[in-house]
Chain A
């Protein structure tokens, strides 16, 4: 579904990605790990079309077609969802209004019937219950006054409503207490399915006890330094990132 080949990207003159190759099939969950500053968040944002990153080489394709020239909203309409590391506040715009506008923009783009207020509300309440979210959050401004944990839950709620085909979750587990982590993981696990691919970007190995990935990639110095199964995460837990960075450094 998602294929990244030899991707290079830079921001403000700094080269951050140095030739990423990564393939993700429908039905799979991959984990992308790596030390701070290795380029994990950059990769996630480049896939979603963040304009401040400049792709200098390589390609990203979704179902075989390049998405590099598409605007963020066009990528979203093709079923790409990014769960933000730092979800953004939009004061005065209620969560439910925002989500309805987003969902209907996507449905319209795909030639589907837009949901009316009643249908949407029913859907929203169902998903909010799944995420253990108080319905009052739905009428509060997007992420405003939300705690870190509530913001992350809200990201997963949005994912559950928008039902993307490809979800990239950028450090959705950072800043979560163990109870909130379980709720978030449960939300992600219910989204696992044959038609959907999920890329979980994380800094902490702990998450992978709750979301078991099919593959683990380790990013170092802007490249995939290692790919393996879940056991790679356990090795990292024991040995840290130092040895991978050294390996990556000696190759460079």
Chain B
């Protein structure tokens, strides 16, 4: 007979399904970081002078910074000279224009990932995809259809080349190059990423999507995403991530900046499934990501939804700066830590404008030796009259070696504002499993039912395609849990 604890041990046996390595020719910059490496990356991307200078400013600033120690995560010191800061498929030298030109190995990789990159799939579906493979954007689909509406959806490098004004205007305005250790590092060495611009009054007719994959060994991934939604526009953006199994830890330090202008709305969803390391805690991605959006003008809305099941360590706080009056920020998160995974994640809601509203729903699931911390700041500035926040943080523990921690910070300098915080911690208990099984459900169905119930408020925020994927991911994680 199994007990939930012993069957949870079996999670360790589950396979990381995305853990294959793609054997294609890569161009990798030698390990180490210096001004020369920064210049080299910039020149490889044919960047204008101002951008090279911006990178260098960031690099010099980075040298003065120290790695943060306040997150509730533990890891061995990272040797920043032992990482390669740029890896690209060699074919990048002559970048593919259409999918036909893409290295077939690469396409197979995406197929394995189940990413609908094939033209038919894209046409049949409603998803436009930009795929970033080891930092370099390899293909963006559905581009023409979008450009008819004036929507720009391309790799960051292309945007630098084709839309330099937009990049210059918004790059670093939400996450300045001085922001924090990992963001600053990203500013210096970022290799590629996605750029989206939705013009005034346009409602983007399909979900835009980027899939990130770290493939090469001993490389770090430093992509950047910038989304600008002009007045009255709407966009829903999806991001997915995977990486091969490797014994060493790999660093992923990305930056995402969102800018929503008057009456614009951005919905940003992430399903993060980087390699979490093996059952002994060996290997796995260090996911140190800075994501921030600004509701720059009145009645703008930014909504973050994330399902974090991968990575050895996750450190990210998708945040909203609510500057415009009546603007709205939302954060919905499911974070799962199993085996030796650690997560310190949450959000910051900075209320500056009047009558701004924010909602935070965080669901943490900890199993095995997993450690899960919610860290959230709600700040109501003096001028943010009539603002409201509602936060709800629920933690679910599976077994007794894992941990859940909640660190809410509430700073209110305005009496007319309302801040609500609710928190619960509960255990997926032998009682619950026995109760469901006594009614006739198998143990596996019982666990799935309980966990999906726990995450329901977040899953319903995800676009349909992603919700299915997220549920599948969770159920894969839990398959082992029922032996």
Please tell me whether chains A and B touch each other in their complex, using a CB distance cut-off of 8 A: yes
Interfacial residues, chain A to chain B (CB-CB below 8 A): 48-52, 71-73, 75-77, 81-82, 84, 86-93, 97-99, 101-103, 105-106, 109, 141, 158, 162
Residue of B nearest to A71 (CB): B437
Contact check, A76 vs B440: say whether CB atoms are below 8 A apart.
yes
Residue of B nearest to A93 (CB): B453
Which residue of B is nearest A88, CB measured? B435
Does A105 contact B438, Cβ atoms closer than 8 Å?
no
A71: B residues at CB distance < 8 A: 1, 437, 443
**Across-interface contacts of B452 in A (CB, < 8 A):** 92-93
B456 touches A101 (CB 8 A): no
Q: Once the chains bind, are A102 and B430 in contact (CB under 8 Å)?
A: no
Taking a contact as CB atoms under 8 Å apart, the answer to whether B453 and A52 are in contact is no
- Cα of A50 to Cα of B435 in the assembled complex, Å: 10
Which among B437, B449, B457 has the highest number of chain A CB atoms within 10 Å?
A: B437
The answer to the question of B466 belonging to the interface, with a C-beta cut-off of 8 Å to chain A, is no
Contact present for A87 and B440 (CB under 8 Å): no
The reply on B455 being an interface residue by CB < 8 A is: yes
Contacts of B442 in A (CB 8 A): 73, 105
Q: A88-B434, A90-B453, A141-B453 are in contact. List 19 more A-B contacts (CB 8 A).
A: A49-B437, A51-B1, A51-B434, A71-B1, A71-B437, A72-B434, A72-B437, A72-B438, A73-B437, A73-B440, A77-B440, A86-B431, A90-B436, A92-B452, A92-B457, A93-B452, A98-B436, A105-B442, A162-B440
In angstroms, Cα B222 to Cα A186, docked, is 67
Given that A88-B429, A92-B457 are known contacts, is A76 also in contact with B439, CB under 8 Å in the complex?
A: yes
- C-alpha gap A104/B144 in the complex (Å): 49
Q: Chain B 446-458, CB within 8 Å of chain A: the 1/0 string? A: 0001101111110
Do B437 and A76 touch across chains, with their CB atoms under 8 A apart? yes
**With the chains together, A109 CA to B442 CA distance in Å?**
11
Q: Which residues of A contact B438 (CB under 8 A)?
A: 48-49, 72-73, 75-76, 81-82, 84
Interface contact A92-B453, CB-CB below 8 Å: yes
Q: B451 — nearest CB in chain A belongs to which residue?
A: A92
12 A-B interface contacts by CB (under 8 A) = A48-B434, A49-B437, A51-B1, A51-B2, A71-B1, A73-B443, A76-B437, A76-B438, A76-B440, A92-B455, A93-B449, A102-B440
**Which A-B residue pairs are the 10 nearest by beta carbons?**
A92-B453, A93-B453, A102-B439, A72-B437, A88-B435, A76-B440, A106-B440, A92-B456, A105-B440, A73-B437
B440 touches A109 (CB 8 A): yes
Task: Classify the secondary structure of B's interface with A.
Answer: helix
**B interface, how many residues as a size bin?**
20 to 34
Q: Which of B1, B438, B441, B442 has the most CB of A within 10 A?
A: B438
Contacts of B440 in A (CB 8 A): 73, 76-77, 102-103, 105-106, 109, 162
CB pair B439 A98 closer than 8 Å: yes
Question: Which residues from A are CB-within-8-Å of B2?
Answer: 51
User: Which B residues lie within 8 Å of A98 (CB)?
Assistant: 436, 439, 449
B457 CB contacts on chain A under 8 angstroms: 92
Which B444-483 residues have C-beta < 8 A from chain A?
445, 449-450, 452-457
Q: Tell yes or no: B34 within 8 A of A by CB.
A: no
B439–A84 contact, CB under 8 A? Answer: no
Find chain B residues with CB under 8 A from A105 CB. 439-442, 445
Q: Give every chain B residue within 8 A of A162 (Cβ-Cβ).
A: 439-440
Which residues of B lie under 8 Å from residue A91 when comparing CB positions?
Answer: 426, 453-454
- In the complex, what's the smallest C-beta–C-beta distance from B447 to chain A, in angstroms? 11
**Smallest CB-CB separation from B439: which chain A residue?**
A102
Question: Given the complex of chains A and B, what is the CA–CA distance between A92 and B454 in angstroms?
Answer: 5
A135 to chain B, nearest CB (A): 20
Find the B residue at minimum CB distance from A110.
B440
B453 touching A88 by the CB < 8 A rule? Answer: no
Q: Are B1 and A158 in contact (CB under 8 A)?
A: no
**Chain B CB within 10 A, most for which of A86, A102, A109:** A102
Give Cα A102–Cα B436 distance, bound, in whole angstroms.
8
On chain A, the residues within 8 Å of B426 by CB distance are 91
Query: A90 and B437: CB pair below 8 A?
Result: no
